[in-house]
Amino acid sequence: MVRKKQDRLKSVTSKLPVKLKPFFEEMDLINKYSPLLAEIQESRQGFALLAQILSLKYEDVEDIFLSQCDAGSDGINCVFAKIAGKGIKNLEQTDIQISKAVLQQQAFVLQQKRPFLVKNLAQETLLERVEGSSFLAEDRQIQSALLVPMMVGQETVGLIHLQSAKNGRFNEQDLYFLNALAKIVAPAMVNFHQDYKLTEIHDIMIEAWGRAVDQHEGESEGHCLRVADLTRHFAMRLGVRGHRVTDLWRGAMLHDLGKLGIEDAILFKETALDIKEWEEMRRHPTFAYDIIRRVPFLKDSLEIPYCHHEKWDGSGYPRGLRGEEIPLVARIFALVDVWDALLSDRPFRKAWKKETAVEYLRNNLGSSFDPILGFEFLKLIDEEGLGSLN
């Protein structure tokens, strides 16, 4: 049964576009390690968890370094290391010394605040310019390396550093994996002193995914967060309470995640889509569904990403749902999403005036939108003076 489930998962993953693979990496990691992250009480526990994960996944890699950044300084302290394939060690319990060259490479990457993937050192120029960096480990010449900073906002809390004597040992999939790992572990390490809950790990990741979608699509800054917050506000005004509020907020943040599965040539086309291109575009809710349904803590957040393009009269997609067949939260969100879109600049048009956007919503009640919810949303606009969201 487990083997069949894994085979189905591999089949789904293999059919998805490459742009969605980082999200699968992150989802898998969150599923597997979130309970352990919630138990972290101090930063060394976070590094110990990383050491455990990396020593298993990268058993063949000769060198693994996990370094901690001291808050408020430029100091780098290597806390776990595996050197020349001899097993990963807690450096507090050994007399192992990390070479100056390794620390200089790490300092350079931390200064840049971005990952570095070196497939073939002979063709690498940027890292070679680091003063004193010979890329030698003991008596071995390093041929490939991967260095990933661990960030929380703009704060750097650590760094994951792998290197190998094998040329081409690391690739984009390794980069996806380590980026995802850094994203979910770093927040737990800096928030252990707060009233830290597992839901905070989840919501930090969800906001990061929402920002990634905004940036990729060229949406006005903060679109996903704006529509998620307004959807939550509107839903609570309608009487939605409890965990449903959290679920719909998360779904709203991830509403266009599936667009990362659409070819850029279609997604950013400035002229009208042809029939074939439009069919491809209409697949993005299904792409989102295929990702999100695999994550237990998002199982109740599927309705908005999957159903927000359904229309009251049945003319929407992907399933052509009609009326109250469309989940309530998706009907709520559809109004908010269109409202925000109309009031935001697009590459092909300027933002609409508030009065024009209101008239558009009013004219489409009973066709695109639930007429009762639409009436309530127009009341909200009028009573709270919602205008430009830019």
Q: What is the mean pLDDT of residues 57-63?
A: 90
Q: What is the mean pLDDT of residues 200-215?
A: 76
Q: Is residue 123 over pLDDT 70?
A: no
- Most confidently predicted of 41-55, 117-131, 227-241, 345-359: 227-241
Contact 51, 88 (CB under 8 A): yes
* Nearest-5° Cα angle at 137, 131 to 141: 90
| Helix locations, the chain, DSSP H | 2-15, 21-37, 43-57, 100-112, 172-190, 198-217, 223-237, 243-253, 264-267, 275-281, 284-292, 303-307, 328-342, 354-363, 371-384
| CATH fold for domain 198-384 | Hypothetical protein af1432 (1.10.3210)
Contact 300, 266 (CB under 8 A): no
Long-range CB pairs of 135-140 (<8 Å, 24+ gap) are: 135/101, 135/105, 135/163, 136/99, 136/101, 137/62, 137/63, 137/83, 137/84, 137/99, 137/102, 137/163, 137/165, 138/83, 138/84, 140/62, 140/84, 140/165
What dotted CATH number matches 39-190?
3.30.450.40
- Most confidently predicted of 15-29, 44-58, 307-321, 348-362: 307-321
Q: What is the mean pLDDT of residues 210-229?
A: 77
Could you tell me the residue ranges of all domains in the chain? 39-190, 198-384
Backbone φ and ψ for 245, nearest 5 degrees, come out as -65, -45
Q: What is the mean pLDDT of residues 267-286?
A: 89
Q: Give the residue with greater pLDDT, 213 vs 348.
A: 213
Least confident of 108-117, 306-315, 323-332, 372-381: 108-117
**To the nearest whole percent, how much of the chain has pLDDT over 70?**
80
Can you tell me the distance from the alpha carbon of 280 to that of 14, in angstroms, rounded to the nearest whole number? Answer: 17
Helices and strands in the chain, H and E counts: 15, 8
The band of 236, judged by pLDDT with boundaries at 50, 70 and 90, is very high
**pTM, 2 dp:** 0.65
Q: Is residue 64 over pLDDT 70?
A: yes
The band of 369, judged by pLDDT with boundaries at 50, 70 and 90, is very high
The band of 3, judged by pLDDT with boundaries at 50, 70 and 90, is very low
110 three-class SS: helix
